[in-house]
């Protein structure tokens, strides 16, 4: 046997004591069996047992942790035990509840098809004529089918399964070890957030029609769900032709999602890289995402046969890592990309990605009716992401203060020293002398802080019409009040000549 270099940082026995899974040397790529063979165990056991209590599991493409990854344990799952962890996962159909949809008709998600056994998650698809299908249709493009039957009324009583992470996250490394269902059913590892969708992969093990996805292919796609959110929503994608059928073997699939890039990996090897610089407005991955694992019928790839069911989409583990950040504010919200999330509250079951309504789970910037004439969230200028806050007003246009406020609880700071900063783009025509930023509660008392006015008149011509950073230091003697909100205020009387025109992006607070 050739010499083997063990990678104990990827020893899965830290989570599964009964099944030692080792991913060793890049030449071996991915482990294909649940138990490492005895010869491999004899080489690595002495090294791994000692490190079992101190070594962290790391991305397969970064076994030395050069990226500084930290496992997000609220979302990651090794699928030990005998049932799904509903603290981490929403199970479609559990207690009669469905989030967003019931599945792609004619198949329907059923909670009893979510199975955890022998250290695996199994999302089962099966033929169940006695299942009580929903008496409704689901229209998907050109396909309009009823749950449990075809459009022509012929029975198609197929149940399947889906789980959704209860928590969302902004940027990270997502990795799964899985094998697709061996039927004309999809197996998907994907994620959605505000106005966005990332399909790390869609696979189909045994399609009856060879079309958009082949049995030896993995398809990755990003969708833009901003209104009007009508198909086609795809903005970019990648198809990888594989030297194996996805239903035959376990492999490790991953996506590294950064602030302005997306890397796709297979068994630790980089397949494709996308960047915001290259994609421009097609880069829509700017808000927190939630993980979905599911199986569906894609009618355009053919219907499964009764004889090939039941069959399982099998998942060994699903892990998410993130990089620590000093940022203390919600980066997506204070970058004007989307809502701030209050994840201590449950998501509304009808919260589709294109929804821009305030509710207990998501809240947006508050701009009153008068201020909305002069303050807008726009794509005209931005330093990161797609959006920024635009302030534009003519002299004497209004006597009222222009105010833009965050929701309560958007700024949560303990006592201590901080640096407040933001990015500004000031037009050469701007004659507004200053604007203000405050953080306090509805009573306006000393429950927060008031920054010195940001003086725009001091910005020389050479630094206008480009993004600059402005900052102030803050010293808090007490925590910010729980009901405090951040407010940006423009006094129109401070417009000295014709007009005010400037943009704000990436408001930030870090500990000093």
DSSP symbols for 400-449:
SPEEEEPPTTS----SEEEEEEEEEEE-TTB-B-EEEEEEE-TT-SSSSE
Return the C-alpha torsion angle 228, 232, 233, 234, nearest 10: -160
Q: Is 158 helix (H, G, I), strand (E, B) or coil?
A: strand
Question: What single-letter DSSP state applies at residue 95?
Answer: G
What is each CA distance from 180 to 73, 189, 250, 251, 271, in whole angstroms?
25, 10, 8, 10, 19
Greatest Cα pair distance in the chain: 84
Closest CA to 71 of 318, 283, 263, 396: 318
What is each CA distance from 344 to 96, 111, 167, in whole angstroms?
22, 24, 9
Question: How far apart are the C-alpha atoms of 6 and 23, rounded to whole Å?
Answer: 8
Q: Is 455 helix (H, G, I), strand (E, B) or coil?
A: strand
Which residues contact residue 331 at a Cβ distance below 8 angstroms, ignoring those fewer than 6 apart?
Answer: 170, 325, 506, 508
Ordered per-residue pLDDT tens for the chain, 512 residues:
323 222 233 334 333 433 333 333 333 333 444 433 333 333 333 333 333 334 689 999 999 999 999 999 999 999 999 999 999 999 999 999 999 999 999 999 999 999 999 999 999 999 999 999 999 988 665 667 899 998 888 999 999 999 999 999 999 999 999 999 999 999 999 999 999 999 999 999 999 999 999 999 999 999 999 998 888 899 999 999 999 999 999 999 999 999 999 999 999 999 999 999 999 999 999 999 999 999 999 999 999 999 999 999 999 999 999 999 999 999 999 999 999 999 999 999 999 999 999 999 999 999 999 999 999 999 999 999 999 999 999 988 889 999 999 999 999 999 999 999 999 999 999 999 999 999 987 665 556 889 999 999 999 999 999 999 999 999 999 999 888 999 999 999 999 988 999 999 999 999 99
Question: How far apart are the C-alpha atoms of 468 and 459, rounded to whole Å?
Answer: 10
Question: Which token pair is 174?
Answer: 């997502």
* Phi, psi values for residue 234, rounded to 5°: -65, 130
- CB count within 10 Å of CB 333 equals 24
**Beta pairing, strands 158-160 & 108-109:** parallel
Are 506 and 432 within 8 A, CB to CB?
no
DSSP symbols for 251-314:
EEEEEEE-SSEEEEEETTEEEEEEEHHHHGGG----S-EEEEEE----GGG-PPPGGG-SEEEE
Question: What single-letter DSSP state applies at residue 233?
Answer: -
Return the C-alpha torsion angle 143, 184, 313, 73, nearest 10: -30
What is each CA distance from 25 to 3, 59, 61, 408, 501, in whole angstroms?
10, 14, 11, 51, 57
């Amino acid at each position: 046997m050739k010499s083997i270099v063990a990678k104990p940082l990827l020893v899965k026995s830290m989570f599964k004591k009964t099944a030692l899974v080792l991913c060793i040397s890049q030449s071996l790529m991915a482990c294909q069996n649940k138990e490492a063979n005895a010869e491999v165990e004899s080489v690595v056991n002495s090294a791994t047992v000692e490190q079992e209590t101190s070594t962290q599991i790391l991305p397969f493409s970064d076994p030395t942790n050069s990226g500084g990854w930290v496992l997000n344990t609220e979302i990651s799952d090794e699928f030990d035990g005998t049932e799904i962890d509903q603290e981490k996962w929403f199970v479609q159909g559990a207690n009669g509840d469905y989030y967003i949809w019931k599945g792609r008709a004619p198949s329907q998600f059923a909670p009893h098809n979510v199975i955890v056994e022998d250290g695996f998650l199994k999302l089962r698809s099966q033929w169940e004529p006695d299942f009580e299908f929903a008496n409704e249709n689901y229209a998907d493009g050109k396909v309009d089918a009823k749950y449990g039957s075809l459009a022509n009324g012929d029975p198609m009583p197929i149940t399947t399964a889906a789980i959704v992470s209860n928590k969302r996250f902004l940027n990270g490394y997502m990795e799964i070890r899985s094998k697709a269902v061996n039927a004309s059913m999809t197996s998907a590892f994907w994620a959605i957030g505000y106005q966005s969708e990332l399909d790390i992969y869609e696979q189909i093990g045994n399609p009856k029609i060879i079309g958009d996805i082949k049995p030896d292919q993995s398809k990755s796609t990003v969708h833009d769900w901003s209104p009007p959110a009508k198909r086609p929503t795809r903005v970019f994608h990648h198809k990888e032709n594989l030297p194996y059928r996805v239903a035959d073997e376990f492999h490790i699939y991953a996506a590294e999602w950064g602030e302005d890039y997306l890397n796709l990996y297979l068994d630790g090897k980089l397949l494709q890289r996308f960047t915001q610089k290259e994609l421009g407005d097609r880069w829509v991955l700017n808000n927190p995402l939630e993980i979905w694992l599911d199986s569906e019928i894609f009618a355009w790839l053919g219907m499964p046969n009764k004889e090939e069911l039941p069959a399982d989409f099998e998942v060994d583990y699903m892990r998410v890592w993130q990089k620590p950040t000093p940022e203390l504010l919600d980066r997506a919200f204070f970058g004007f990309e989307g809502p701030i999330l209050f994840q201590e509250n449950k998501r509304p079951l009808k919260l589709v990605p294109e929804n821009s309504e305030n509710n207990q789970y998501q809240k947006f910037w508050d701009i009153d009716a008068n201020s909305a004439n002069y303050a807008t969230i726009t794509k005209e200028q931005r330093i990161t992401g797609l959006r920024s806050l635009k302030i534009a007003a003519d002299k004497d246009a209004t006597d009222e203060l222009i105010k833009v406020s965050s929701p309560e609880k958007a700024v949560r700071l303990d006592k201590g020293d901080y640096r407040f900063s933001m990015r500004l783009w000031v037009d050469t025509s701007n004659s507004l002398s200053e604007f203000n930023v405050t953080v306090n509660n509805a009573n306006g008392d000393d429950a927060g802080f008031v920054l010195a006015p940001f003086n725009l008149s001091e910005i020389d011509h050479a630094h206008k019409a480009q993004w600059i950073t402005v900052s102030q230091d803050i010293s808090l003697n007490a925590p910010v009040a729980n009901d405090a909100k951040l407010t940006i205020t423009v006094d129109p009387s401070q417009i000295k000549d014709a007009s005010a025109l400037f943009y704000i992006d990436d408001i930030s607070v870090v500990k000093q």
